[in-house]
Chains A and B, each alone.
Chain A
Amino acid sequence: MIKTLKELCALNGVTGHEDAVRDYIIKAAKPYADEIITDKLGSVMIYRAGSREDAKTAMLCAHMDEVGLLIRSITNDGYLKFICAGGIDRRVLIGQRVFIGEKRIPGVIGLKAKHLSSDEEKKNLPKLEDLYIDAGFSDKNAAESQIELGDYAAFDSKQVEFGDDMLKAKALDDRVGCAALLKLMEKRRSCNVWYVFTVQEENGLRGAHAASFALSGGKNRPDIALVVEGTTAADLPSLPPHRQVCRPGGGVVIPFMDSGTISDRELFSKLTSTAEKLGVKWQTKEYISGGTDAAAIQRARDGIKTAAIALAVRYIHTPISSVKISELFDIVNIIDSFLEEL
């Protein structure tokens, strides 16, 4: 599963451009799927029927997309101006290497040398519109021969295992969810399961809106939904304890709400009691920053009982996002046991 996670993180799937991740998932899911549907927006819905005839149907959801950049314009000198796709703190962009487009053209986000900057400049960040990608083009024509406006750029960040069982990679939000779903799919369960891999979560949960509408109106309608996510850890020593809301190593995160969804109480209780029963460490958190696909799924058509479960990710939405590897196994164990008791 760690190999799968690393392979998934190595793929680029900037929101709206999830093709490489989707291809990987479809290939990995083929041996286990009873049905694979790619919907109009590009989300993948994989059905695996349960062994019981009167089985309930669960929907597990993870998003395939990641935050990244879009090339907005090219300067006369051949530098590329960009906008962010998804929420990115621009402070993490400076000095970062990126890959542009399908051809993976390497570039860097530059900043003039310290020696050329005033003290005042060094205290403040350049505006997003003043940042640029340097891919070594000598002028606009050279850049235009290889870059098209609208090309995406993804972080160039290797997967590094470090410290005590930590993994650093880009796009852990939400390739951890994708990897967990692919693992869970390997087993035929008593219940029916839709494994749903959505697009454009970072662009406003758009894939989840369409996918949950389709599933809740079809045969094998999901009775419950579980969103499997990466969530913001906040455990820097400089933060007061009440703001250190969750941390890698503190256990699987089972939130009772996020900013877009109040988890279904029954599902929340079942998840926490499952963790307790298994003796797996868990923690909660008052919210998951931003919304998750849960908001879209919960309110699809006449509603679906929905909850979320997540891994604490340090430095989420940056090239150095990091998780505790053992917690990926823990989250799979909890969901596995939860599904068996559905």
Chain B
Amino acid sequence: MITIFKEITMWDKLAKLSNTIAPSGYESKAAELAAEYLRQFTNDVQIDTLGNVIGMIPSPTGVKTLLIDAHIDEIGVMVSGHEGGFLRFVTLGGIDPRMLMAREIRFLTGHYGVVACLPPHIQQSSDADKCIPVEDLYIDIGLDDASCIPIGTVGVFDTELADWNNGCVIGKALDDRAAFLIILRALELIKSPVRINIAVVASVQEEAGHRGAKTAAFGLNPDLCIALDVTHARTPDAPEDRTFVFGGGPVIGVAPSIPRSMSDTLKKLAKDNGIPYQIEVMSGNTGTNDWAFQTTREGIPAACLLLPLKYMHSPIEMFNKDDFENTAKLLAAFIEVQE
């Protein structure tokens, strides 16, 4: 059932997916790639009404169905107005305005632009301490008249994935496309026969509020779900108690909404398999798709498994390859024990 998914091509595939322009609501390019990648594991790959990519991997002995999810949308910008050769814009999903100055943007139309900076002679010395709010920023597309890019056109950070030394990978949209690759890696790592039907979902519109997950889960009506997503890895400027060790292994979500039996299973599997792990305790909305799954139809038990990621929602999102592999191992172990 499994095609060998060699490591050398895995980063190439992630690069292709990460570099693709596909903000929330405009995921079709990423969906095409996700479908192509899924076809290496199953011929049953479909795209549903909202654009979710669904790959069904039936088990000969399977009775129940496990939905494994990662979202393929990303944060971005949307053109909201024109002023001469410059564009006004709003953000799609959460972007810190401090991350926007001097950024390069690529629009779905192919146009390239930069987020304009203020020339120094019009600034007071105190201005340098202040962040310019998004509504005061412009995107410069190098034309005298920017109106050729219609209002509503979407764009994303223009950057390319880089496979670094020190086991780090950086790029945009690793939230959550890296997690989609983790699912594929886990499928490849599975050794024993799988006793549960698997539905892999590359979901849309997570950043807009877990919308794709909702319809995908309704349509598939699985018995249980696991959402693969990212969480904050520790950096010097971030609170230590709300962040996780970069390279410290996958993070298992523990929350009132997540059945304790599921998070306990993940913990036990990590221990049994010698996989380092960390625990994120959440309450209320976990911010990941399990929150949507749990209230779909009659309610579906759903857990989340998270990859530590630095600089979430930026063009320099960064993860550690050991964390990637260990998260895939833990997911593979989780799949193997389901029946």
Contacts and interface: CB of A to CB of B under 8 A. Distances in A.
Contacts of B120: 87, 89, 232, 289, 317
A116 B242 contact: yes
Contacts of B168: 136
Contacts of A238: 83, 136, 138
B162 A106 contact: yes
Contacts of B111: 162
A90 B127 CA distance: 11
B95 interface: yes
Contacts of B165: 105-106, 136
B166 A136 contact: yes
Contact of A234 (B122, B242, B315): B122
Nearest to A287: B121
A233 B238 contact: no
Contacts of B113: 162-163
B96 to A, nearest CB: 4
Contact of A136 (B123, B138, B164, B239): B164
A163 B311 contact: no
A92 B140 contact: no
Contact of A125 (B128, B141, B143, B318): B128
A75 B122 CA distance: 35
Given A116-B238, A164-B143, A314-B140, A142 B312 contact: no
Interface-central residue, A77, A79, A136, by most chain B CB under 10 Å = A136
Contacts of A117: 96
Contacts, number: 187
Contact of B316 (A95, A126, A168): A95
Interface string A100-114: 000001101011111
Contacts of A315: 102, 114, 116-117
B129 interface: yes
Contacts of A132: 235-237
Nearest to B118: A236
Contact of A289 (B96, B99, B121, B131): B121
B96 A113 contact: yes
A288 to B, nearest CB: 10
Main DSSP-derived SS at the B contact region: loop
Contacts of B122: 234, 239, 243
Q: How large is the interface on B (under 10, 10 to 19, 20 to 34, 35 or more residues)?
A: 35 or more
A94 B101 CA distance: 8
How many A residues are at the interface, by size bracket? Answer: 35 or more
B140 A134 contact: no
Contacts of A137: 166
Contact of A77 (B104, B121, B167, B236): B236
Contact of B98 (A91, A245, A249): A91
B287 to A, nearest CB: 8
Nearest to A87: B120
Contacts of B256: none
Given A164-B142, A164-B143, A89 B237 contact: no
A237 B142 contact: no
A277 interface: no
A114 B313 contact: yes
Contacts of A316: 119
B97 interface: yes
A110 B235 contact: yes
Given A79-B236, A106-B162, 12 more contacts: A108-B318, A113-B311, A122-B97, A125-B131, A130-B237, A134-B310, A136-B165, A163-B143, A165-B142, A234-B121, A237-B138, A314-B140
Interface of B: 83-86, 94-99, 101-104, 111-123, 128-133, 136, 138, 140-144, 159, 162, 164-168, 170, 232, 235-239, 242-243, 247, 287, 310-316, 318
Interface of A: 75, 77, 79, 87, 89-92, 94-97, 105-106, 108, 110-117, 122-126, 130, 132, 134-138, 142, 160, 162-166, 168, 232-234, 236-239, 243, 245, 249, 287, 289, 314-320, 322
Q: Which 5 A-B pairs have the closest CB atoms?
A: A163-B142, A166-B142, A136-B166, A136-B168, A114-B96
